């Protein structure tokens, strides 16, 4: 029996993200993902007209006759949400923390996978992978995922995106749709890992931001502490030149992120803490459908 509190929270998420789940179910959830691949079906003797590249040369050499490897299209998707649970994700200047919005997004993706009879899993990480639930199907499994998303308490505070990328690159044996959900701002040091993951999987980067991380109001001197390292500093929010410099630096990091995503063929979603997670995801699906169909 699941706790009433969990069922109540799941119901709240289902109601709040119903439009998103319905959209993912009815609006080309499968067609816009590149996650569907091929599955080995067996070996048979080569017939005239078969694809030459499908020949299994080892079997052919042993038997003395040409044989080919047959594959079938996978009938289901495998979706994994890798969620950053570092200390900075607990920040929120409004009604909700970044982690709350990220969890809502991850739960909606899991519910959509369940509705489409696909497998879903989660990878919870800080500067190491702290928990991995292998992709599976079914309502009970999805409820377990959401429970971990809501209540898991990380042991560490830092962030290292290399850890989940290396882990998933080694652990996921079949092509998957991977959502990497994080508030990390610098990704230059993990371009190699991103390139490998993007080649093996349909990798979608989900950046979670808070409005106060972009621009602080003029409130004079403010003491700021890094939630991950504990380092403290004092900034003068009335110094508009300094504040503008921070904004420009953030814009440069954003542009670098966009370039990396474009170079590796990755899509990018930006979630804002406290705002709807539905609109950014629906926007991505609409853009993917246009690319697939060729419509503008």
Domain spans in the chain, listed from the N-terminal domain onward:
4-31+75-293, 39-73
Supply 246's token pair.
Answer: 């921070």
**What's the rounded Cα separation, in Å, for the pair 294 and 296?**
7
**What's the rounded Cα separation, in Å, for the pair 114 and 94?**
31
Q: How large is the average pLDDT for residues 161-170?
A: 95
- Under the banding of pLDDT at 50, 70 and 90, the label for residue 67 is confident
Tens digit of each residue's pLDDT (9 = 90 or more) over 183-216: 987 666 788 899 999 989 999 999 999 887 766 7
Q: How many CB atoms lie within 10 A of CB 42?
A: 9
> Is residue 92 pLDDT above 60, yes or no?
yes
Tens digit of each residue's pLDDT (9 = 90 or more) over 32-56: 676 445 556 678 888 776 777 778 8
User: Quick one: pLDDT at residue 47?
Assistant: 74
> Is residue 236 pLDDT above 80, yes or no?
no
What integer best gives the mean pLDDT of the chain? 83
> Is residue 24 pLDDT above 90, yes or no?
no
Strand, helix or coil at 136?
strand
**What's the rounded Cα separation, in Å, for the pair 240 and 238?**
6
Residue 23 to residues 14, 29, 199, Cα–Cα distance (Å): 13, 8, 27
Is the distance from CB of 92 to CB of 210 less than 8 angstroms?
Answer: yes
> Is residue 23 pLDDT above 80, yes or no?
no
Instruction: Please give the residue that has the higher pLDDT: either 168 or 184.
Output: 168
Tens digit of each residue's pLDDT (9 = 90 or more) over 255-296: 888 888 889 989 999 999 989 888 888 888 878 877 766 655
User: Quick one: pLDDT at residue 188?
Assistant: 64
- CATH of segment(s) 4-31+75-293: 3.40.50.410
**What's the rounded Cα separation, in Å, for the pair 154 and 164?**
14
> Is residue 18 pLDDT above 60, yes or no?
yes
> Is residue 107 pLDDT above 70, yes or no?
yes
Segment among 15-24, 83-92, 103-112 with least mean pLDDT: 15-24
∠ CA 136-142-143, nearest 5°, is 140
Residue 221 β-bridge partners: 236
């Amino acid at each position: 029996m699941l706790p009433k509190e969990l069922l109540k929270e799941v119901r709240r998420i289902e109601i709040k993200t119903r439009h998103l789940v319905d959209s993912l179910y009815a609006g080309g959830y499968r067609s816009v993902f590149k996650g569907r691949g091929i599955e080995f079906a067996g070996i048979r003797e080569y017939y005239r007209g078969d694809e030459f590249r499908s020949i299994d040369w080892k079997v052919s050499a042993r038997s003395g006759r040409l044989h080919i490897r047959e594959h079938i299209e996978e009938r289901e998707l495998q979706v994994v949400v890798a969620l950053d649970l570092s200390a900075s994700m607990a920040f929120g200047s409004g009604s909700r923390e970044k982690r709350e919005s990220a969890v809502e997004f991850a739960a909606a993706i899991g519910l959509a996978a369940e509705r489409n009879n696909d497998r879903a899993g989660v990878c919870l990480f800080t500067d190491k992978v702290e928990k991995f639930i292998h992709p599976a199907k079914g309502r009970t499994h999805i409820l377990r995922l959401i429970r971990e998303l809501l209540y898991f308490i990380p042991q560490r505070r830092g962030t290292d995106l290399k850890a989940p990328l290396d882990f998933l690159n080694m652990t996921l044996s079949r092509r998957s749709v991977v959502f990497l959900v994080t508030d990390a701002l610098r990704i230059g040091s993990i371009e190699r890992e991103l390139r490998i993951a993007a080649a093996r999987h349909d990798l979608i980067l989900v950046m979670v931001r808070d409005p106060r991380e972009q621009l602080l109001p003029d409130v004079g001197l403010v003491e700021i502490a890094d939630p991950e390292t504990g380092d403290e500093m004092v900034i003068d929010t009335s110094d508009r030149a300094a504040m503008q410099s921070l904004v420009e630096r953030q814009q440069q990091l954003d542009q670098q992120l966009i370039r990396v995503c474009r170079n590796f063929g990755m899509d990018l979603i930006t979630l804002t803490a406290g705002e709807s997670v539905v609109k950014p995801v629906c926007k991505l699906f609409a853009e993917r459908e246009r690319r697939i169909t060729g419509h503008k």
